[in-house]
Amino acid sequence: MRTGMREGPEIWIRGPVAAPEAAAPPESAHAQATARRFSWVGLHGGAGVSTLAAVYGGHDGGRAWPGPAGPRSMLLVARTHAAGLDAVVPATEVFRRQEAPQGLDLDAVVLVADAPGRLPRPLAHRIRLIESVIDVYRVPWVPEWRLGDLSGRPPRGTESLARLTGATR
């Protein structure tokens, strides 16, 4: 054994190294990856599916399963009020029990704020329970959306959802 040398895997290049071909510049990993398309599916009326589809892109599925032409990856959408949160667990159970239509993939739940400000403690606790069983993305209250202004970038704090959906506004 040699002294003063690190042990472990070593990679050595032997011989001359050819220069890369100059035919075309390499594409970045971001340019090569295509954004995955999602079907936004509301768990109750007024969940915000149309707004999210307009802001983040993807298929506005309303409250129905995506059809054969729709994206098979789903994001379930609910508001953060009691009725909205009540709808989340039964919907995720449909996927856990494999009772959803064949080929659909539930990626996450998106919870849209039902009002400005902090959530009451009981609702925050319910969200933590939901987060323990599935990925949850939260969307804050956006006053401009209430007025119908969907222009601009996705709201602060939703960068991970924008990355997931490929929103590039």
Per-residue pLDDT of the chain (169 residues; tens, 9 = 90+): 445 544 444 444 444 445 444 444 444 444 444 556 899 999 999 999 999 999 999 999 999 999 888 899 999 999 999 999 999 999 999 999 999 999 999 999 999 999 999 999 999 999 999 999 999 999 999 999 999 999 888 999 999 999 999 886 5
Cβ atoms of residues 43 and 76 within 8 Å: yes
pTM to 2 decimal places: 0.78
Number of domains present in the structure of the chain:
1
Helix (H, G, I), strand (E, B) or coil at 78: strand
Residue 117 domain flag: yes
Residue 58 lies in domain: 36-165
**What is d(CA 123, CA 82) in angstroms, rounded to the nearest whole number?**
7
Q: What is the pLDDT of residue 68?
A: 85
Q: Which of 79, 94, 97 is nearest to 43 (CA)?
A: 79
Q: How far apart are CA 74 and CA 59, in angstroms?
A: 9
134 assigned to some structural domain: yes
Q: 3-class SS at 111?
A: strand
User: Domain for residue 133, yes or no?
Assistant: yes
21 domain residue, yes or no: no
The whole-angstrom separation of Cα 161 and Cα 12 is: 41
pLDDT at 29: 43
> Is residue 65 included in any domain, yes or no?
yes
The pLDDT of residue 37: 85
Evaluate whether residue 128 is within a structural domain. yes
For residue 135, being part of any structural domain is answered with: yes
